[in-house]
Amino acid sequence: MLNRVGGQADMKPPQMKRPRNDGNSSSNQTHGYEHSSGTLLKPPPQPPQNLPGSQLPGTRVEKPHDQNMSSHFPKTKEEGPLPAKRSKITPQLLNYIDNFKYPYISDVSCYEKLLKIGQGTFGEVFKARCKKTGRYVALKKILMENEKEGFPITALREVKMLQKLKYENITELIEICSSKQTSSRDRCTFYLVFAFYEHDLAGLLSNPNVLLKLNEIKTLMKHLLNGLYKIHSSNILHRDMKAANILISKEGVLKLGDFGLARPLFKKLPGKMEPCYTNRVVTLWYRPPELLLGARNYGPGIDMWGAGCIMAELWTRSPILQ
């Protein structure tokens, strides 16, 4: 085992030999190697075999159907497409964003703001004058509280329904305007441009110098019911009937305004559940009993209840359920 060569010990590795199969060996010894000292050792790792059909030694055999089956499994991160590189913010890009104009939408600079006249359901309202024609208009600023969610769905409903409702007793939507802020990071602000009306019913009733005659009350109620009939026949609910939303022109024509809470009326289909709506609508003084009790399936009756409250208010000059 030890040989002295030049005064140095030469250690030879222990020799391993296969065990003899004499019939008495156990199954464990059959798959092991025998050390020269008589003990059993685990077999050394064998080099991978180059199987036919494999691409590299040691890889699994690629069967013809493996290529078809690979499409059913998701690709790993390394196999997926490379992420797209974000374009750099250049002065040309910033200039394009600052000067971008939405098609078919005018700039609000075409109008001169005069004063703030109210706060609508979902935005501020300003009195303004068109610089070209001199016509007075009402600019309703759309509040963008959740800018990440995009344009408010309530404003989209209002625009779509007012475009559908062209009637003499319903307020007129002229156009939509936009206003870009000075900073390129600020989002664009949108305005709804309405025809301007000099009075609203709540303001007239609160003025002690304004006295309504019986024939004037009848005329106003006729205009109000005609406007509601047009809305309901178009399968639309107003859902915010109150004296402050009743506009009156200088000619004495009543106009229904503020469609911020309005929505289309669902059709009840046979075999389907009755559609439900939110009950958090209508100002409290004009809210019908079913909404106060939490009802969610209602119809045009909630607007008619508000019309009745307004009719009584024409005589009492104050909300009867306040």
Q: 241 vs 38, which has greater pLDDT?
A: 241
What pLDDT, in 10s, does the model give residues 257-309?
A: 999 899 999 887 788 888 899 999 999 999 999 999 999 999 999 999 999 99
- Same domain (yes/no): 212, 158: no
**Residue numbers of the domain that contains 249:** 199-316
What pLDDT, in 10s, does the model give residues 140-180?
A: 998 776 656 677 888 888 999 999 999 999 999 999 998 86
Q: 29 falls in which pLDDT band (50, 70, 90)?
A: very low
Q: 27 falls in which pLDDT band (50, 70, 90)?
A: very low
Q: Which of 172, 195, 218 corresponds to the end of one domain?
A: 195
Q: Which of 98, 186, 200, 240 is catalytic?
A: 240
182 lies in some domain: yes
Q: Which of 146, 178, 195 corresponds to the end of one domain?
A: 195
CATH of the domain at 172: 3.30.200.20
- Same domain (yes/no): 212, 151: no
DSSP-assigned letters across all residues of 35-101 = ETTS-EEPPPPPPPP--TT-SSTTPPP--TTHHHHGGGSPPPTTTSPPPPPPPP--HHHHHHHHT--
240 a catalytic residue: yes
Mean pLDDT of 2-8: 48
- Whether 16 has a pLDDT exceeding 90, the answer reads no
Number of domains in the chain: 2
82 lies in some domain: no
What pLDDT, in 10s, does the model give residues 84-116?
A: 666 677 877 766 666 666 666 788 999 999 999
Mean pLDDT of 60-76: 50
pTM of the model: 0.66
**Residue list for the binding site for ATP:** 140
- Same domain (yes/no): 117, 204: no
Q: Is 272 left (phi over 0), alpha (psi -120 to 50) or beta?
A: beta
Q: Which of 195, 223, 255 corresponds to the end of one domain?
A: 195
**Residue list for the binding site:** 140
282 lies in some domain: yes
6 lies in some domain: no
